[in-house]
Structures are given as structure tokens and as C-alpha cells.
């Protein structure tokens, strides 16, 4: 515990981008990601992650190192040759001792039965393949946006990172396990599958193990937005990250023959492209530009896209047909979010669907062919773009499906069109050229920014728990953009809590938050009891003797979280308690300032907190009373959510917690237990 201690970071990452691999089942206005989690099957057998108790004392010792003792204990669960039929004796693929006690092995149903009958068996689940939401080979492991000042001492050791179809959970868990044993301070997890109950999610279980050992776990919230209930990695012990834009634009302005100009973007900044007027071509019959039934030689072609990234086959078709350039119109869902990724070998600009509609209007209607012209003006990267940040359309949205009473995501960080270090052996786009940098998007790009901030805080405050660090990042985050307005979503509407979380990260403030909401492992255990029950408690904590009688019970709303989520029901008065720890000046005085969510009144008791010592704790109660008949309820299938905030303000600090009142949160999930 010295100030020279270097925070170590393990990065388990692949690049998640919002591409055509996203698929949805739409029900009742909400969307769930289609499960890409089909169990990995290998003929009859499949890989299971098997949780077992730690080895009993008599299985250890004998001069053997601990790791070997664990492995031998894990092997003792496997059926011997012959027992499993014709198959050879199954083998352990991974043996876990860092974040949990267990192993991964490929087993038939019969073999699994045998394993589950051994004393010490806790639980087994078939592993999922965590889907890759990218068209590119995973391999990114870098961060070029110079915020982090940490040393990635173990950089690369935790890499698992996956093949073209995804990452297997057992492998990801092995990376986490190794990183924890290596003594890292932060785990950065930029992958995740669809939401499942925490006791069936090895990543959530592994993260619980890591956080219980004082290791922060920062996770990508997912790239399945903008529909609700699309978050991954939502456990309250994880720090769940949303993605936003930065104030930079790779500008490619489309200038029409009538003088109108639209600021699109492109990574192919073709400065040789002449700004002369080209014929502008758009046809509803060939609007996806995969084939042409007209002569487009020398024309700038306007194309619609169904995916965030323009398809390579359209580029090829245009080039082969002799097109001079292309304007790609964003899919409508993506609003103002323009995802850039590839270096295309054709002058092009990607524009928003709103701008695209105007360009189409000009190109398409009622004039003789050839009389409409356009050009593309390339203007490199423009900085200082406003408004920024804006939430990226692909950033996954809350509420959490696994735990709707815990407000998620936690914070937003830069994740749209991020300049990133790139392994030169991984091809970029369709070209054979190699690059050491690329521009990439995803909550997986936002996650390492937050990981860096965690490492920074850990370095300054080595004794802070993961929950204290997370609280510092959340309560100091900014709710405003660089225009001074509330941060907006991809449609340029005010971003909701379930979209942006507490706000956009602010590293300089996060180091000195004034007060923090701490949350120790026993709180999480009591929360698991209330949400999932005793058998899940045993699975997640890996302690087969744990009981809820001992652990207690804490409802979702009562967890000492740095954001507040209460049910919204007419006439309901709902109280949550919170405890803050003074990490600012020993003697300080804070006053509560409340911005009450619409149709509610909020009372904070006491309304003033006076601290006399460092690390002193104070508890207060927040009562949200819903007024009127209109308040709350999910009438007519509409989701009613009102938002406000509680700020504790002292001379030097503002400690801000969002207050979310949600009509679809069942009072029971929030009740005092
Ligand atoms: C297509 O248009 C170009 C440019 O206007 C012209 O040079 C060429 O001859 C045309 N090709 C055909 C097959 O009509
Ligand atoms: C290019 O960008 C600069 C700086 O942002 C701006 O002053 C200039 O007007 C832009 N030129 C065009 C053609 O958009
Ligand atoms: C909240 O705090 C008040 C007093 O500060 C206490 O009476 C009450 O029992 C607490 N509620 C819970 C759920 O802990």
C-alpha cells in the first residue's frame, strides 16, 4: 500500500461493433436479442463449466503447490475410462481457482450425471459462446486516446480474447482467473452475451469473485441498442459502460448542385477527388446498390444501407460499374450516429437518414436525368464538434433484464469512432495493406476508457474498494454535453437514464469525489438472497455453506448504490436508505439539493450531513412520493419513467445521484425485506 504502487490492468477484449450480426425478436414494443447462446455442442458431448467446492484439507499438502492440488481435485470429479462408454476419459480444459472454484470439461450427458453425483459438486452449466458482434477478426488490445496514465504491467497476459464465431465462456473465465491470480487491480471485460440470471452467468460469477477480492470489474454494456432491455453485464458488482461520441468528425461534406451542403463523414479522405460537379444518381429500384440497371459511369451514387456500416459488396458494385463516388444514407434507427470503420477504396460520405432524405429528394424527383449534380468535399478530421458527447445508437439500453430494480447502465464513455492501436497482422477492411491504427466503435471501446480511470483512482487511493471507485466515477460524471445541455441520445432527444447511466465520465473529478457510496461483499450477498435465493447465493459466492439466514436480505432498491431507482405508483411513498462515506476533507458539510422526478415529491432526511472525520459514514433516507392519478403504472403498455437527481453539495464537491422512478418496477422488488 504505497503511493508508488502501480495499478495493473487485465484486458479481456475483442472489438464489438454494431453490424449486421445484430438480430432481434421484437415483442410488445421491447426487443430482446435473439439468443446466440446455443450451447456449444461437440457431437453428443458439450463443454460444461462445473462449479465445485474448494479442495478439502486432506486433498492439499504433500509439498504439492496449490495449483496442482486444485487440478488434481478437479480431475477427481471426472469419470474414469470405460465409465463414459466408448469415449476416452474426458479432460479438464480449464481449472479455475482465482475467481471461483471449478473447471471446464467436455462431457456427455451421462458423464455429467456421474460428475454431479460426486461429493463437492455445486453446479454445472453448459457454456455459451459469447457472440461476436463484429465483422472483423478480434484482436484489438489498445487505447490511443491519451487518458490513461497507467502502466499495463500485465498487458496481454489475460488475453483469451476468441475465433470468428465468438468467445467461449470457459475461455473467458480462464482469462479472468489467470488475471486475478496475477494480482491485477482491474479487469476490463469487453464482451458479453444476452442477459441471463446471475447464477447462470459464469462471467457474473467470476466478476463476483474478483470484486470480493477487491478487484474492480469494468464491462461493456453491449452493442444491441437502441431498443430497451438490451444490456449485457448488468450485475450490480460490475461497472457497466455505455458508449458515446467524441467531439471529432471525419468530415466529408456532400455539396449538391443547388448549393445545399450536408456534413457527412468518411474515413476515406480522398483529397484527390475533384470538387467538380458529378451527375447524382439515385434509383429506388437499385437503392441498396448491389446491382445497377443503368449507366452510372462517372456518377456520384446515392445508396441506402440496412446496416451501420456500408456493405463492401455495394462499394464493389459501384466501382465495377464505373461510379465516381457514393453517398451512403444511414439506417433510420441510427439517427445521428454515424459508425465509421473501414477504409474503402472509393470516395464516399456517410450521412444521417434525415440528411439522406433531403439528398434523395433532390436527386430523385421529376427532373430529367443528368440535371442533378453533387460533389463530396473532404475536410479531414474536424475537432470541437458540438454537441458531444451524444449517445451512440448501438449502445445497449437498460433496464436490466436480470435485475430490473438496479439502475443500469452505470456511466457513458467515448465509444464511437475511436482511434485505436491495431495489430498490423489483422486486416482492415478488404484491403491487403496493414495498419497500426484503426477507427473502431463499440461499448468495448468505451470500456477501456473507464478501466483507465479506475486504474488512475486505484493508484491515488489504493485502499478504496471497487464499489467506492465506481461510486466516485458515477457521482462525478457529467450530465451535460459540450454545449451545456443535457446529454442527448442518437435522435438528439434528452438521453434517458437507461441510455446514458449517471452521465459521461470525468476522470479529473472522479479522483476527488468528496463522498462515496460503498458496498461490501456482504451487501451483495444479501442482495443475491433477496433477488435469487439461497441456492444461487451458494453458486455465486462459491460457498456451499452460505445461508441467507446469515447473509440477510437487501432488496434491489435498498442496495447502497450510487443511483436510486424506485417504483412509480400513484399515491405510493417509497423510502430508500443510503450511506455515504466521507473521502473528502475531514470536516465538511453537505446540503441535499433535489431535482424531483416529474409527478413526485422527494424528501431527504437529514437534509444536511456534517462530517468531522475522514472515512466517517452517514446514513440518510430518501422518500419519493408519487402524486396525482397520472403518476406511474404501465397503463396501455406504456413505460412511464420519471427522472431527477439528488446532489449533496459542499463547498468543494457535488456528489450527484440520478433518481429514476419507473412505473414498471414492481414495488415488491424494491420493498424492504
Ligand atoms: C456510360 O456513360 C459514360 C459517361 O457518360 C459514357 O462515356 C459511356 O459510353 C456510357 N456507356 C454506355 C454503355 O452507354
Ligand atoms: C474545413 O474545416 C475547417 C475547420 O473546421 C473550416 O474552417 C472550413 O470551412 C472547412 N471547409 C469545408 C470545405 O467544409
Ligand atoms: C432507514 O433508516 C431509518 C432511520 O434512519 C430506519 O428507521 C429504517 O429502518 C431504515 N430502513 C431500512 C430499509 O434500512
CB atoms within 10 A of CB 157: 15
Which ligand minimizes its atom distance to the CA of 623?
3
Tell me the backbone φ, ψ of residue 282, rounded to 5 degrees: -145, 130
| Ligand 3 pocket: which of 604, 621, 622 to mutate (most atoms within 8 A of CB) | 621
424 Cβ inside 6 Å of ligand 2: no
253 Cβ inside 6 Å of ligand 2: yes
Residue with CA nearest ligand 2 atom 2: 379
Question: Given this model, what pLDDT does residue 646 score?
Answer: 98
**In Å, how far are 152, 190, 362, 363 from 301, measured between CA atoms?**
46, 37, 13, 10
Alpha helices (H) along 519-663: 521-532, 534-541, 548-551
With a pLDDT cut of 70, the percent of the chain lying above it is 80
Locate 152 and state its grid cell: 499495463
| Ligand 2 pocket: which of 250, 376, 379 to mutate (most atoms within 8 A of CB) | 379
**Pick from 126, 119, 120: which is nearest to 104 by CA?**
126
555 Cα–ligand 1 center, Å: 71
Q: 265-269, 364-368, 383-387 — which is least confidently predicted?
A: 364-368
Which ligand minimizes its atom distance to the CA of 620?
3
Which ligand minimizes its atom distance to the CA of 673?
3
- The beta strands (E) that lie in 330-468 are given as 348-351, 373-383, 411-414, 418-421, 437-440
Q: 304-318, 560-574, 628-642 — which is least confidently predicted?
A: 628-642
Q: 20-29, 257-266, 454-463, 500-509 — which is least confidently predicted?
A: 20-29
The DSSP symbol for 229 reads S
What is the mean predicted confidence (pLDDT) over 331-349?
88
379 Cβ inside 6 Å of ligand 2: yes
328 Cα–ligand 2 center, Å: 21
Residue 427's pLDDT band, with cuts at 50, 70 and 90, is: low
417 Cα–ligand 3 center, Å: 46
pLDDT in tens, 559-602: 999 999 999 988 889 999 999 999 999 999 999 999 999 989 99
370 Cβ inside 6 Å of ligand 1: no
611 Cα–ligand 3 center, Å: 20
380 Cβ inside 6 Å of ligand 2: no
Residue with CA nearest ligand 2 atom 8: 379
Say which residues have a Cβ less than 8 Å from residue 341's Cβ, sequence separation at least 6: 17, 136, 267, 309, 429, 438, 439, 440, 441
Alpha carbon 664 to its chain centroid, in Å, reads 23
| Ligand 1 pocket: which of 293, 294, 295 to mutate (most atoms within 8 A of CB) | 295
In this model, does residue 86 exceed pLDDT 80? no
Give the global pTM: 0.84
Asked whether the beta carbons of 460 and 603 are under 8 A apart, the reply is no
SS3 540: helix
Domains and their CATH numbers in the chain = 249-382 (3.50.30.30), 563-630+639-672 (2.60.40.2310)
| Ligand 3 pocket: which of 577, 670, 672 to mutate (most atoms within 8 A of CB) | 577
Asked whether the beta carbons of 615 and 644 are under 8 A apart, the reply is no
pLDDT in tens, 253-290: 999 999 999 999 998 888 888 889 999 998 888 888 98
Give the whole-angstrom CA distance, residue 535 versus residue 547: 9
CB atoms within 10 A of CB 25: 10
Give the whole-angstrom CA distance, residue 314 versus residue 328: 10
295 Cβ inside 6 Å of ligand 1: yes
Amino acid at each position: 500500500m504505497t503511493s508508488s504502487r502501480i495499478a495493473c490492468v487485465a484486458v479481456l477484449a475483442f472489438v464489438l461493433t454494431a453490424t449486421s450480426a445484430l438480430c432481434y425478436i421484437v415483442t410488445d414494443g421491447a426487443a430482446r436479442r435473439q439468443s446466440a447462446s446455443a450451447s456449444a455442442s461437440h457431437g453428443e458431448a458439450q463443454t460444461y463449466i462445473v462449479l465445485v467446492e474448494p479442495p478439502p484439507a486432506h486433498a492439499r499438502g504433500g509439498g504439492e503447490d496449490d495449483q496442482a492440488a486444485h487440478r488434481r481435485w478437479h480431475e477427481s470429479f471426472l469419470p474414469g475410462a470405460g465409465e463414459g462408454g466408448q469415449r476416452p476419459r474426458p479432460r479438464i480444459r480449464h481449472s479455475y481457482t482465482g475467481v471461483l472454484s471449478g473447471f471446464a470439461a467436455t462431457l456427455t450427458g451421462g458423464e455429467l450425471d456421474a460428475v454431479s453425483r460426486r461429493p463437492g459438486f455445486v453446479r454445472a452449466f453448459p457454456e455459451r459462446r459469447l457472440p461476436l458482434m463484429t465483422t472483423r477478426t478480434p484482436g484489438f488490445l489498445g487505447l490511443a486516446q491519451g487518458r490513461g496514465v497507467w502502466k499495463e504491467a500485465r498487458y496481454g497476459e489475460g488475453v483469451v480474447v476468441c475465433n470468428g464465431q465468438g468467445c467461449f465462456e470457459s475461455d473467458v473465465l480462464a482469462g479472468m482467473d489467470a488475471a486475478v491470480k496475477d494480482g491485477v487491480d482491474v479487469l476490463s471485460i469487453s464482451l458479453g452475451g444476452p442477459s441471463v440470471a446471475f447464477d447462470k452467468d459464469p462471467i457474473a460469477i467470476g466478476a463476483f469473485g474478483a470484486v470480493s477480492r477487491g478487484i474492480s470489474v469494468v464491462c461493456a454494456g453491449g452493442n444491441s441498442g437502441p431498443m430497451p432491455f438490451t444490456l449485457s453485464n448488468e450485475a450490480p458488482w460490475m461497472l457497466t459502460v455505455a458508449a458515446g461520441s467524441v467531439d471529432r468528425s471525419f468530415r466529408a461534406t456532400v455539396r449538391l448542385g443547388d448549393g445545399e451542403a450536408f456534413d457527412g463523414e468518411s474515413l476515406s479522405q480522398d483529397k484527390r477527388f475533384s470538387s467538380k460537379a458529378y451527375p447524382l444518381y439515385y434509383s429506388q429500384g437499385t437503392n441498396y446498390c448491389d446491382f445497377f440497371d443503368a449507366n452510372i459511369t462517372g456518377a456520384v451514387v446515392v445508396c441506402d444501407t440496412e446496416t451501420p456500416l456500408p456493405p463492401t459488396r455495394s462499394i464493389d458494385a459501384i466501382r465495377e460499374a464505373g461510379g465516381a463516388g457514393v453517398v451512403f444514407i444511414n439506417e433510420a434507427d441510427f439517427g445521428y450516429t454515424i459508425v465509421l470503420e473501414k477504409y474503402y477504396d472509393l470516395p464516399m460520405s456517410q450521412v444521417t437518414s434525415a440528411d439522406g432524405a433531403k439528398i434523395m429528394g433532390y436527386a430523385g424527383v421529376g427532373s430529367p436525368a443528368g440535371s442533378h449534380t453533387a460533389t463530396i468535399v473532404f475536410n479531414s478530421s474536424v475537432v470541437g464538434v458540438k454537441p458531444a458527447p451524444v449517445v451512440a445508437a448501438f449502445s445497449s439500453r437498460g433496464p436490466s433484464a436480470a435485475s430490473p430494480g438496479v439502475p443500469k447502465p452505470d456511466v457513458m464513455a467515448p465509444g464511437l469512432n475511436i482511434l485505436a492501436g491495431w495489430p498490423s497482422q489483422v486486416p482492415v477492411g478488404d484491403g491487403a495493406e496493414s495498419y497500426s491504427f484503426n477507427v473502431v466503435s463499440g461499448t468495448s471501446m468505451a470500456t477501456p476508457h473507464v478501466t483507465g480511470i479506475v486504474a488512475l483512482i486505484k493508484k491515488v487511493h489504493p485502499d478504496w474498494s471497487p464499489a467506492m471507485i465506481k461510486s466516485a466515477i458515477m457521482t462525478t460524471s457529467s450530465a451535460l454535453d459540450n454545449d451545456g445541455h443535457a446529454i442527448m441520445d442518437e435522435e438528439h432527444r434528452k438521453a434517458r437514464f437507461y441510455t446514458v447511466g449517471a452521465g459521461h465520465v470525468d476522470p479529473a473529478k472522479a479522483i476527488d469525489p468528496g463522498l462515496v457510496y460503498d458496498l461490501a461483499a456482504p451487501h451483495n450477498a444479501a442482495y443475491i438472497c433477496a433477488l435469487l435465493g439461497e441456492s444461487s447465493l451458494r453458486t455465486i459466492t462459491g460457498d456451499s455453506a452460505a445461508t441467507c439466514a446469515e447473509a440477510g436480505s437487501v432488496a434491489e432498491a435498498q442496495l447502497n448504490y450510487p443511483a436510486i431507482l424506485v417504483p412509480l405508483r400513484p399515491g405510493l411513498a417509497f423510502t430508500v436508505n443510503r450511506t455515504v462515506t466521507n473521502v473528502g476533507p475531514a470536516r465538511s458539510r453537505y446540503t441535499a439539493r433535489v431535482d424531483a422526478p416529474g409527478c413526485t415529491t422527494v424528501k431527504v432526511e437529514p437534509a444536511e450531513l456534517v462530517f468531522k472525520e475522514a472515512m466517517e459514514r452517514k446514513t440518510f433516507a430518501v422518500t419519493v412520493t408519487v402524486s396525482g392519478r397520472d403518476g406511474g403504472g404501465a397503463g396501455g403498455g406504456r413505460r412511464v419513467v420519471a427522472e431527477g437527481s439528488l446532489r449533496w453539495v459542499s463547498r468543494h464537491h457535488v456528489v450527484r445521484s440520478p433518481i429514476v422512478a419507473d412505473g414498471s418496477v414492481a414495488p415488491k422488488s424494491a420493498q424492504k425485506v
